[in-house]
A and B are shown apart, each in its own frame.
Chain A
């Protein structure tokens, strides 16, 4: 079946406390939702396998706590991420305003090689509340912001109802597929023994 090798994708979920990051993850992985709010402490890790066409992906999802005091983890957490999911609550303006901070924080910490094209996705969560009557951030506004940041894919979700959650995470894997690097040639150095034993002969190294 899967002809190409499996890919492991490190996915970081960021956003203000209470916007529903943990709920989205639980909905996606366990198809469960709870109304009770429990602050995430530190970070949670979760894995889920996805198949797209003939490719198998393992999503390694990092759900971090929103609280300031956990940000000390910084670099270590963000390092080597393949995708970053930014979440806000459509009913809370502040959580939307903060998306920019989260995005910048991420780029700063993870310092990806090509920040302009780093794959983000944005989720506007809790669209179920009050039948949408209490929402303060319009879809149009959110989409405009996403467009201004290099056309970030945007999804409106409800972790409670399971709306769009699957589609959003599916998009992560699709994104990674697009950005998949070429299979690299691994080419370490060799030595020239005649030239004194341990001199390096620089080869081109591995291009990755």
Chain B
């Protein structure tokens, strides 16, 4: 029987009816044709133009396709779809059998996936380890590989002619068929004047971001909210602009065939480290110690400072201001992803996203660490069209100075500036204070003052309090994040012992993400406070004109007590603001 050109799936409960595929060929064929469960196989599709299920494009305006569990039957591909994350099915190139990927990987998968209608999910832990240390992402894989299909979260960048530009996993060229499929889906919806936002297919969410002539796609089964995934795509786009500027668009205008991949050569590590910052942890090499890198900046729209005494930060700012006055656009001193000081000329302010992307770029590019560097970079929020020049120098393993300028020939001037700055920083002990602060860590919920009378206590001389109890802070407080709206800065506490395990931290990160999304959801209006209790946490969120507070408590905590504790956290943060925030960097704070 070799009749099938239809890719409809006759049996919605079997994910991959064609796993009996013959020995594989290396090539893949993707088919844009999308099946509805139950559609008779073999027949040409009768509906509409037969291209996508009718429901798919019926909606006017922006399409938010099919919520899970909704009655709409055309749920794209649905849980019954082939392992293929997302909406597109692939099909055998053999013209026989049922829809099937033609890769060798599949012969073996049948056994393991059995009759389950879900894609098996690989734990990303080990793969993260690989990724993180080498910046590689399994270049041997393609969309026919079992391992590729099992990955929890894919990111793609492609051009609007369907040519692959970047894929988190696998080889871009081998994924050419897959990226053509993505382009076809996006374009098809676009042609009808609509915009495709996301597709839900079983546990998978496919999120699209269109930045003509660039398309970005995330395929994820992490259950993160749409807004969170969209924001991650925005950041990936921003990271691309940081490396290339928006001038790439001109290349596509002149030549739609333009192949952008060579321009991004060597930047795999930059993207993979950014993507890791979206998630919750990686293991640091060589010790298998869990290193938490989840970076709330990826969804909070704010940056965070390294806690330092006011005078120490002032000393750093003063010398940075000095060089800024000599023609430096921004002078930025950071320790890992935390700001020590930031100074800008004129009224210019550095957007938190630009800081996030810049520090990610610097920290993930090995070459910056080995020598002083001078590199063109673009700050997409400052001006997406142009290159600035960044002079980067690591003062110690984690601490680096970045001087941004507009002139391409100021390397020697900036080098002189750096030498001056470094001398002052060493002399005034700023660098040693920075290292000490890194060791000390940030705010601990155990140190939350019990009485308002203890307010004047300084962060840098913590008294012995309840920290030895090992059960978190007072009233079951486990963790908090405080974001100052005017300062564009946040501070987040260290993880207390009840959330010391990486799985707890992952749950917390996801919970915050959901909380953030629901608090900022335009549809349901601006929330002032939210109190949630589930089996893992009591979560409290409080938003005012000045700040946003996110706090996590023991799930058994008392609501009234939790609210009281939140008040105390706010007071505590205000008491410490000179040490945990940077003043003067944002035009609003003067």
Q: Which A residues are within 8 Å of any B CB, using their own CB?
A: 5-8, 10, 22-23, 25-26, 29-30, 32-34, 36, 38-49, 58, 60, 62, 69-70, 72-77, 79-82, 110, 113, 181, 183-184, 186-193, 197-198, 200, 205-208
Shortest Cβ distance from residue A16 to the other chain B in the assembled complex, whole angstroms: 16
Contact indicator A191/B386 (Cβ below 8 Å): yes
Which residues in B have their C-beta under 8 angstroms from that of A187?
247
Residue of A nearest to B95 (CB): A34
Instruction: Give the contacting residue for A70; candidates B49, B251, B254, B408; CB below 8 A.
Output: B49
Contact indicator A186/B244 (Cβ below 8 Å): yes
Q: Which B residues are within 8 Å of any A CB, using their own CB?
A: 2-7, 25-33, 42, 44-45, 49-51, 91, 93-96, 102, 159-164, 173-174, 176-178, 180-181, 183-184, 187-188, 190-191, 244-248, 250-251, 254-259, 261-263, 327, 329, 345-346, 348, 376, 378, 383, 385-389, 406-408
Residue from A23, A40, A74 whose CB has the most chain B CB atoms within 10 Å = A40
Contact indicator B50/A190 (Cβ below 8 Å): no
Complex Cα gap A55–B304 (Å): 48
Contact indicator B176/A30 (Cβ below 8 Å): no
Which residues in A have their C-beta under 8 angstroms from that of B45?
41
Residue of B nearest to A32 (CB): B94
Contact indicator A188/B93 (Cβ below 8 Å): no
Complex Cα gap A56–B383 (Å): 38
Contact indicator B176/A188 (Cβ below 8 Å): no
Instruction: Give the contacting residue for A82; candidates B51, B96, B257, B406; CB below 8 A.
Output: B257
Query: DSSP majority for the B interface?
Result: loop
Complex Cα gap A36–B95 (Å): 9
Contact indicator B162/A10 (Cβ below 8 Å): yes
A-B complex: 9 closest residue pairs judged by Cβ atoms: A80-B161, A38-B5, A76-B187, A188-B247, A80-B256, A60-B176, A45-B180, A188-B245, A58-B173
Which residues in A have their C-beta under 8 angstroms from that of B7?
41
Using known A-B contacts A42-B31, A77-B187, determine if residue A47 contacts B160 with beta carbons closer than 8 Å.
Answer: no
Contact indicator B30/A193 (Cβ below 8 Å): no
Instruction: Give the contacting residue for A30; candidates B94, B161, B407; CB below 8 A.
Output: B94
Complex Cα gap A32–B258 (Å): 33
Complex Cα gap A23–B94 (Å): 9
Residue from A181, A183, A188 whose CB has the most chain B CB atoms within 10 Å = A188
- 24 of the cross-chain contacts (CB-CB < 8 Å) are A5-B262, A8-B163, A26-B93, A30-B94, A32-B96, A34-B95, A41-B5, A42-B31, A44-B30, A44-B32, A45-B180, A47-B173, A58-B174, A72-B191, A76-B188, A80-B161, A184-B251, A186-B251, A188-B245, A189-B386, A190-B387, A191-B386, A206-B251, A208-B258
Shortest Cβ distance from residue A201 to the other chain B in the assembled complex, whole angstroms: 8
Which residues in A have their C-beta under 8 angstroms from that of B178?
45
Complex Cα gap A205–B247 (Å): 7
Contact indicator B250/A206 (Cβ below 8 Å): yes
Residue from A33, A110, A186 whose CB has the most chain B CB atoms within 10 Å = A186
Which residues in A have their C-beta under 8 angstroms from that of B6?
38, 41
Which residues in B have their C-beta under 8 angstroms from that of A110?
256
Known: A190-B389, A191-B388, A208-B255. 13 other contacts (CB 8 A): A8-B259, A30-B25, A34-B95, A36-B95, A42-B50, A47-B176, A49-B173, A60-B180, A70-B51, A72-B191, A80-B257, A193-B329, A193-B406
Complex Cα gap A206–B387 (Å): 13
Instruction: Give the contacting residue for A41; candidates B51, B247, B262, B408; CB below 8 A.
Output: B51
Using known A-B contacts A113-B255, A193-B329, determine if residue A200 contacts B386 with beta carbons closer than 8 Å.
Answer: yes
Which residues in A have their C-beta under 8 angstroms from that of B161?
10, 79-81
Contact indicator B32/A190 (Cβ below 8 Å): no
Contact indicator A46/B2 (Cβ below 8 Å): no
Complex Cα gap A45–B91 (Å): 9
Residue of B nearest to A111 (CB): B256
Which residues in A have their C-beta under 8 angstroms from that of B327?
193
Which residues in A have their C-beta under 8 angstroms from that of B51?
41-42, 70
Which residues in B have their C-beta under 8 angstroms from that of A183?
262
Shortest Cβ distance from residue B329 to the other chain A in the assembled complex, whole angstroms: 6
Using known A-B contacts A32-B95, A72-B49, A188-B244, determine if residue A47 contacts B191 with beta carbons closer than 8 Å.
Answer: no
Contact indicator B30/A45 (Cβ below 8 Å): yes
Instruction: Give the contacting residue for A47; candidates B174, B329, B345; CB below 8 A.
Output: B174
Which residues in A have their C-beta under 8 angstroms from that of B407?
190
Contact indicator A189/B247 (Cβ below 8 Å): yes
Which residues in A have their C-beta under 8 angstroms from that of B102?
30
Complex Cα gap A206–B51 (Å): 38
Which residues in B have their C-beta under 8 angstroms from that of A74?
191
Which residues in A have their C-beta under 8 angstroms from that of B256?
79-80, 110
Residue from B164, B256, B329 whose CB has the most chain A CB atoms within 10 Å = B256
Which residues in B have their C-beta under 8 angstroms from that of A39?
5, 44
Instruction: Give the contacting residue for B50; candidates A47, A69, A73; CB below 8 A.
Output: A69
Shortest Cβ distance from residue B587 to the other chain A in the assembled complex, whole angstroms: 13
Contact indicator A44/B191 (Cβ below 8 Å): no
Which residues in B have their C-beta under 8 angstroms from that of A60?
162-163, 176-177, 180
Complex Cα gap A26–B406 (Å): 54
Shortest Cβ distance from residue B103 to the other chain A in the assembled complex, whole angstroms: 11
Which residues in B have their C-beta under 8 angstroms from that of A22?
5, 95
Residue from A33, A48, A72, A76 whose CB has the most chain B CB atoms within 10 Å = A76
Using known A-B contacts A42-B50, A45-B32, determine if residue A79 contacts B160 with beta carbons closer than 8 Å.
Answer: yes
Shortest Cβ distance from residue B556 to the other chain A in the assembled complex, whole angstroms: 54
Contact indicator B49/A76 (Cβ below 8 Å): no
Using known A-B contacts A44-B30, A58-B173, A81-B257, determine if residue A190 contacts B408 with beta carbons closer than 8 Å.
Answer: yes
Complex Cα gap A170–B32 (Å): 26
Using known A-B contacts A6-B173, A113-B255, A198-B383, determine if residue A80 contacts B95 with beta carbons closer than 8 Å.
Answer: no
Complex Cα gap A189–B178 (Å): 34
Which residues in B have their C-beta under 8 angstroms from that of A79?
160-162, 256
Residue of B nearest to A7 (CB): B259
Contact indicator B406/A8 (Cβ below 8 Å): no
Using known A-B contacts A29-B93, A200-B385, determine if residue A45 contacts B163 with beta carbons closer than 8 Å.
Answer: no
Shortest Cβ distance from residue B7 to the other chain A in the assembled complex, whole angstroms: 8
Residue of A nearest to B328 (CB): A193
Shortest Cβ distance from residue B351 to the other chain A in the assembled complex, whole angstroms: 14
Complex Cα gap A190–B408 (Å): 9
Which residues in A have their C-beta under 8 angstroms from that of B25?
29-30
Residue of B nearest to A79 (CB): B161
Complex Cα gap A206–B249 (Å): 10
Residue of B nearest to A59 (CB): B176
Contact indicator A30/B27 (Cβ below 8 Å): yes
Instruction: Give the contacting residue for A46; candidates B3, B28, B261, B345; CB below 8 A.
Output: B28
Complex Cα gap A74–B190 (Å): 12
Complex Cα gap A191–B386 (Å): 7
